[in-house]
Amino acid sequence: MFAAAFVERITNPHHSGLKLPQQKAATAGKAVKRLPPPERLIVSLWQHAGEPCSPLVQKGDRVIRGQKIGEARGLGAPVHAPICGRVVAVEPRLHPSGLWIPAVVIENDGRDSFLPLDRSFLGDGGSPEEMNPEGIRRLAREAGLVGMGGGLFPSYVKLTPRDDPRPDFLILNGCECEPYLTCDHRLMVEETPTLLWGARAMKRALGVSRVVIAIEDNKPDAIALLRQMVRGLPGFEVRVLPSLYPQGAERTLVRTITGRVVPRRGLPADVGVVVHNVATASALGRALLTGEPLLQRIVTVDGDAVAEPANYWVPIGLPVRELLKAAGVDESALRQVILGGPMMGTAVADLDVPVLKGCGGVLAFTARASPVDEAGPCLRCGRCLDACPQGLAPFQLARLVAAGRLDQAVTWGLADCVECGSCAYSCPSRRPLVQYLRMGKAAWREHPRPAVRTTLPGTPPTGQLGAVSNGIPGAQPRALPDRGTSEPVNQEQEVIPQGAA
């Protein structure tokens, strides 16, 4: 039975998705709050896919809000000063990735000056439909826009249409399928005109005929508002999708909206589709309308350790500790802090890491909601297999990564893992599958050679604050299905088929 299920998943990677506890009620209906001016920001020079930026300022310099302080090297996105102040350090600082990455530390001097972006190259027309497409891409680059859903890919690259195939579809991802997170929901409700201005500019830059705003059915107010506002915009429509996880994963979204299947190791652009997050569209709209680069974003702060769960406008570079303090978190009660959602987010070991452009949530939990679970042995139950939206065999990938057999893990599709966490959430043995897969992918990126051996430990690392993120704190995996056996199997006895895709 198990083998049959495995073959079916490998050959037919479509599944309906997980129905997760939403946990959004505490923040979804509240207006986004403003924070008091920060005293100090740590603006990381690495907030995008690609090399870190080169600093344009040095210790002692005065900067004003909007000033470019880091220039992209190659593929990348510049960073800007979110406040006026004095640069007190340009030095490596702890990054949410756990690495020490160069950052510009700015101390607020209380001034309120602003340096807007140059927009003279956009063309003479006032509306997005009349703007120069190349000018829109240039502004997206100069504004430091990246995928704000967490992808962090420089937006101007995704706004550059391929010649073959030419894109004909733009999907704006407003699904926000992770539990707890409501930052995109609030943005769609409160920033609708700015979002649509940016969306129209994206349509113009890409030259596509259709724009679909994809929203899960748990956001009825955003759906109603956007449906009303897109009336009269040619080619625009709002598509309502069921609340399933990971509905917002690009590959899933493209298949659901267009029926097209993104090839393995491919991109939506391979099938003529471009996907941007709604927050990215809104940031582009803001840059076009006001000349403001990406200096701030909406962040959901929630979890059982948070006294005032809400969404906040947060300046890029605000230390997580300051944000939690503003939300009424008692640090002494903390067990785990996650940046992002509970399924795909990263648990941090130090609260002095800064908020980055792609951070949509800061979740803080006490030991009550986030107990330390001992991982049990793999039961070969196949739950992870059923849960994987990519049609992978997570238990097998984790086993290969733990054994340092990365070449075989890649053969089994390691690179196709989108780190959605569905497998770990479904695992009755609480195996830290995603952590193994992340480690394996990172090691493979470092040494993409066949037969590479790594020094990966048998057990993924645990942060000082608590266990790494491994699903929804407090949530129990679904009941174990009857698959005919619950006996642990000797993992080393498994025969690995060569050439399996």
Nearer to ligand SF4, 294 or 434 (CB): 434
Q: Nearest distance from residue 495's CB to ligand SF4, in Å?
A: 17
Q: Nearest distance from residue 386's CB to ligand SF4, in Å?
A: 8
Which of 168, 420, 154, 200 has the alpha carbon at shortest distance from 269? 168
Distance CA 252, CA 196 (A): 23
Distance CA 352, CA 21 (A): 30
Nearer to ligand SF4, 351 or 378 (CB): 378
Q: Residue 62 corresponds to which tokens in the numbers above?
A: 């005065």
Distance of alpha carbon 277 from the chain centroid: 10
Q: Nearest distance from residue 124's CB to ligand SF4, in Å?
A: 47
Distance CA 496, CA 492 (A): 10
Q: Nearest distance from residue 248's CB to ligand SF4, in Å?
A: 13
Q: Nearest distance from residue 181's CB to ligand SF4, in Å?
A: 17
Nearer to ligand SF4, 226 or 381 (CB): 381
| Cβ 316 vs Cβ 275: under 8 Å | no
Distance CA 459, CA 418 (A): 21
Q: Nearest distance from residue 300's CB to ligand SF4, in Å?
A: 22
Nearer to ligand SF4, 164 or 487 (CB): 487
Q: Nearest distance from residue 18's CB to ligand SF4, in Å?
A: 9
Instruction: Report the residue count for the chain.
Output: 501
Nearer to ligand SF4, 173 or 422 (CB): 422
Nearer to ligand SF4, 224 or 496 (CB): 496
Nearer to ligand SF4, 40 or 380 (CB): 380
Distance CA 450, CA 454 (A): 12
Distance CA 103, CA 87 (A): 10
Q: Nearest distance from residue 437's CB to ligand SF4, in Å?
A: 5
| Cβ 139 vs Cβ 205: under 8 Å | no
Q: Nearest distance from residue 439's CB to ligand SF4, in Å?
A: 12
Q: Interface residues with ligand SF4 (CB under 6 A)?
A: 378-384, 387-388, 390, 392, 394-395, 417-423, 426-429, 431, 433-434, 437
∠ CA 277-274-354, rounded to 5°: 35
| Three-class SS of 415-474 | HHCCCCCHHHHHCCCCCCHHHHHHHHHHHHHHCCCCCCCCCCCCCCCCCCCCCCCCCCCC
Distance CA 281, CA 437 (A): 31
The residue assigned the tokens 């899960």 is 216
Distance CA 270, CA 261 (A): 9
Nearer to ligand SF4, 227 or 430 (CB): 430
Sign for the pseudo-dihedral over CA of 271, 273, 275, 280 = positive
Q: Nearest distance from residue 422's CB to ligand SF4, in Å?
A: 4
Map residue 115 onto helix, strand or coil. coil
DSSP class of residue 154 equals B
Nearer to ligand SF4, 167 or 391 (CB): 391
Amino acid identity at 76: G
Distance CA 316, CA 41 (A): 8
Nearer to ligand SF4, 196 or 378 (CB): 378
Amino acid identity at 61: D
